[in-house]
Amino acid sequence: MSKYKVDENGYYGNYGGAYIPELLYPNVEELKEAYLRIMNSPDFIQEFRHLLSDYVGRPSPLYFAKRLSEHYKTKIYLKREDLNHTGAHKINNTIGQILLAKRLGKTRIIAETGAGQHGVATATVCALMGLECIVYMGEVDIQRQAPNVARMKLLGATVVPATCGSKTLKDATNEAIRDWINHPENTYYIIGSVVGPHPYPDMVARFQSIISEEMKQQLKEKENNEYPDYVIACVGGGSNAAGAFYHYLDHPEVKLIAAEAAGKGIHSGHSAATSALGKPGIIHGSKTLLMQTEDGQIVEPYSISAGLDYPGVGPVHAHLFETGRAEFISITDDEAVKSAFELCQLEGIIPALESAHALACLSKLNFKPDEVVVINLSGRGDKDLSTYMNFLK
């Protein structure tokens, strides 16, 4: 039994659980009873794998970034989740959950989104399956991620603005949960990250674990060793990191690095660096590290990257942080943008702002020349062009 995977009660060490109002109990219980049985059934596996290969375009390449490697004097590989259909890792999870929702007989799909990548990925699979789709998105994020809003609408989804609080991912998640409370019988909630009540964190991690499953095979072919020295991924809620770490959790020789958004600086009051600023608390149905006041009110986070703009982390990451299994590195807005520009110029790849936080870890670590470093390039930067353009001026 891995000490980094979820236990039978839905906890990762001290974190996790299902802190939900009674109104959601039947839904979450139904999912808890069904998810492993459905995910492990042969027809599910077949359909899931088929869509991942023919629709999403998996396996995503593991690309040896030669010029970036020369620059940092080590061997850097990029796991190209940005090349997936819809432009990010999010689709791995939405394909899995929509197949699950269909098998549970649900007809109406809801989702929350920050950067819009999960919203687009959900709208996409709903179109594919012919299901109604409602996406909650913070009003601030609707402004800063306009291309993704347009994509969701084109795909037939209804985008509902979340107008409370900081008007970002946290608030969109609140609204999605309220919608679910109001429609408990026909509606399935596709959560986009390893957050929420058990079994969501485990389920989403399992769907995203395809990332490290492929990494192992690809590294074996390229390096004749499945186990790299480092795996680096950004963490907002933490789904791409959960997937990139998954098959390496019990191999301590693989160093796991989680890049958090420090915003304008950890102590600037404009940050989303949860491991640095958070204390144990409850958000969106799970116990985890949470940015909050002394009085237990949730703090409104800030990051230039809408996908990392979240005051908590998935419970698995809280556990990886507490046990020291993963090292958390805080990256400021400016450092992330600088790294994004560097990747554009050295490799001809425009990364998402979220993924740029993972890239920025390269200058914070000391690598040996023969070490193998894998960066999970979780998404592409098309959606962030207007933000990048502001820095070009």
Partner 1 sequence: MNRINKLFETKQGNILSVYFTAGFPQLNDTANILKSLQESGADLVEVGIPFSDPLADGPVIQHSSEVALKNGMTMKLLFEQLKDFRKEINIPVLLMGYLNPVLQYGIEKFVQQCAASGIDGLILPDLPFKEYQEQYAPLFDQHNIRNIFLITPQTSEERVRLIDKAGNGFIYMVSSASTTGVKGQMNDQQTDYFMRIKNYKLNNPTLIGFGISNYDTFQTACQYSKGAIIGSAFINTIENSKDLKKDIHSFIQQLTTEK
Which entry of 60, 79, 81, 90 is annotated as an active-site residue?
Answer: 90
Residue 260, C-beta contacts closer than 8 angstroms, at least 6 positions apart: 234, 235, 272, 273, 274, 275, 276, 308, 313, 328, 329, 330, 331, 357
Residues 118/192, Cβ–Cβ less than 8 Å: yes
Nearest distance from residue 56's CB to partner 1, in Å? Answer: 32
Which entry of 79, 106, 112, 383 is annotated as an active-site residue?
Answer: 112
Find the binding residues for partner 1 in span 141-170 (CB under 8 A): 164-165, 170
Alpha-carbon torsion 143, 148, 153, 154, what sign? Answer: positive
Does 21 help bind partner 1 (rule: CB under 8 A)?
yes
Does 221 help bind partner 1 (rule: CB under 8 A)?
no
Nearer to partner 1, 232 or 290 (CB): 290
Selected from 99, 142, 172, 177, the binder of partner 1 by CB under 8 A is: 177
Nearest distance from residue 214's CB to partner 1, in Å? Answer: 36
Residues 235/317, Cβ–Cβ less than 8 Å: yes
Find the binding residues for partner 1 in span 297-316 (CB under 8 A): 297-298
Selected from 6, 12, 16, 20, the binder of partner 1 by CB under 8 A is: 20
Does 174 help bind partner 1 (rule: CB under 8 A)?
yes
Selected from 199, 201, 238, 285, the binder of partner 1 by CB under 8 A is: 285
Nearest distance from residue 275's CB to partner 1, in Å? Answer: 18
Residue 56, C-beta contacts closer than 8 angstroms, at least 6 positions apart: 84, 85, 91, 92, 95
Establish whether 112 is a catalytic residue: yes
Label residue 7 left, alpha or beta by phi (over 0 means left) and psi (-120 to 50 means alpha): beta
Does 17 help bind partner 1 (rule: CB under 8 A)?
yes
Does 283 help bind partner 1 (rule: CB under 8 A)?
yes
Establish whether 378 is a catalytic residue: yes
Nearer to partner 1, 196 or 379 (CB): 196
Does 294 help bind partner 1 (rule: CB under 8 A)?
yes
Query: Applying CB under 8 A, which part among 84-92, 116-124, 154-162, 293-301 lies near partner 1?
Result: 293-301
Which entry of 75, 354, 378, 383 is annotated as an active-site residue?
Answer: 378
Nearest distance from residue 268's CB to partner 1, in Å? Answer: 20
Does 181 help bind partner 1 (rule: CB under 8 A)?
yes
Long-range contacts (CB closer than 8 Å, 24 or more residues apart) made by 346-351: 346/65, 346/67, 346/68, 346/71, 347/65, 347/67, 347/68, 347/78, 349/78, 349/82, 349/377, 349/380, 350/380, 350/381, 350/382, 350/385, 350/388, 351/82, 351/377, 351/379, 351/380, 351/381
Residues 317/236, Cβ–Cβ less than 8 Å: no
Nearer to partner 1, 34 or 129 (CB): 34
Q: How far is CA 366 from CA 108, 139, 251, 294, 377, in A?
A: 49, 40, 20, 37, 20
Q: Does residue 199 have a cis peptide bond before it, meaning omega lies within 30 degrees of 0?
A: yes
Contact positions vs partner 1 (CB under 8 A): 17-23, 25-27, 164-165, 170, 174, 177-178, 181-185, 279-285, 290, 292, 294-298
Instruction: Supply the residues annotated as catalytic.
Output: 90, 112, 378
